[in-house]
Structure 1
Amino acid sequence: MSTTQNERLRGLLEPLVGAQGLDLEEIEVSQAGRRRVLRVVVDSDAGVDLDTVADVSRAISAKLDETDAMGEGEYVLEVGSPGADRPLTEHRHYVRATGRLAKLQLHEGGELVARILTVDDEGLDLEVPGVKGRKPTARRVGFGDIAKARVEVEFNRKNKQDELEQEEEEA
């Protein structure tokens, strides 16, 4: 997609998405056979449920129908939320990932998997899990030190209540 079309679509859709209390995270136009596919990714601090996706999809579709932003050819509109293992590229992404496990690739080299505890304007306070029965350690990483970051999917994470119940059973 040309930068001009991307900018035009963003300018058209961002106020519409923002009016629904969402952030426009990504716009992508790709070719699928003879048709084009417009993928729009939205998110919010509270996450996005299916009803919200359906509402914003209808609003985007209506707006695109009244403009020529997608040109004359056929296209398919796909509206969704970022995946569970989404890349962290904006400050708000890190804030939304507070409490989650993330994989950070550092500019200095090396990789770090840690839980995001707090986020401020300069960087992150992390809890690095202990290895082989050791206690977790605290670490501070500045945003300037992060080359890439992505949320890690956890299938068996215990919440605080589960941990308290387990401690009571062991006592």
Structure 2
Amino acid sequence: MSKKVTDVVADLAAPIVNELGLELVDIEYVKEGKNWFLRVFIDSDDGVDIEECGIVSERLSEKLDPLDPIPHNYFLEVSSPGAERPLKKEADFQKAIGKHVNIKTYEPIDGEKVFEGILESFDGKTVTVTVTIKTRKKQVEIPYEKVAGARLAVIFG
């Protein structure tokens, strides 16, 4: 198969979640131990419940079965991305402005590769985060192409 499994699944899942008024957040296809897992993460502004996850799982299974893009047994899991949802697309960064985030970069910026703080702005090229170092606040500008991973971060305390 020329397309990656996650791309095939995204093509099948997108119309299903859109029809339900939900958002397709992410798709993972991973091996854990001897088992393979196909994880589909969905969300909405109001969150998602177990019933919505079940509907997406059932409809997606119906689409996957005849195509059979995965040659071996796997577990299909459909769930919410949780409180620390990943920021994958530019729109995710836009929605996260003003929220607490954790960003990892491919290479150091000001000697650091992990930044946690408030996402101040995103213009499509630069992610600006206010981080607190001891008691001092500092704005860090991170080139978007250097972002290795980003997610919302929950603050405990």
The structure, 1 or 2, with the larger RCO (C-alpha pairs under 8 Å, 6+ apart) is: 2
Give 5+ residue unaligned stretches, structure 2: none
Give 5+ residue unaligned stretches, structure 1: 157-171
Name which of 117, 122, 126 aligns with 2:125.
122
Q: Residue 17 of structure 1 corresponds to which residue in structure 2?
A: 17
- The Cα offsets for residues 63-114 of structure 1, whole Å up to 9 and x where unpaired, read as 334x242568654321012243344332123223323222333433413322
SS in structure 2 of the partner of residue 99 of structure 1: coil
SS in structure 1 of the partner of residue 38 of structure 2: strand
Count residues in correspondence.
151
Give the number of the structure whose residues are more often strand, by fraction. 2
Q: RMSD value over aligned CA atoms? A: 3.4
- The Cα offsets for residues 5-58 of structure 1, whole Å up to 9 and x where unpaired, read as 44433322222223223225114264776x7543222234x1631143233223
Give the number of the structure whose residues are more often helix, by fraction. 1
SS in structure 2 of the partner of residue 11 of structure 1: helix
SS in structure 2 of the partner of residue 92 of structure 1: helix
SS in structure 1 of the partner of residue 76 of structure 2: strand
- The Cα offsets for residues 119-147 of structure 1, whole Å up to 9 and x where unpaired, read as 22222332222523x4x344443313434
Comparing 136-145 and 108-117, the one that deviates more: 136-145
Query: 1:64/1:114 Cα in 2 relative to 1: closer, same or farther (>3 Å)?
Result: same
Mapping for residues 1-171 of structure 1, pairs under 5 Å: 3-21=3-21, 22-28=23-29, 30=31, 37-44=37-44, 46=45, 48-50=47-49, 51-65=51-65, 67-69=66-68, 75-106=74-105, 107=107, 108=109, 109-110=111-112, 111-129=114-132, 131-132=134-135, 134=136, 136-156=137-157
Q: Percent of aligned pairs with the same residue? A: 26
Contact 1:104 1:113 (8 Å CA) reproduced: yes
Query: 1:49/1:143 Cα in 2 relative to 1: closer, same or farther (>3 Å)?
Result: same
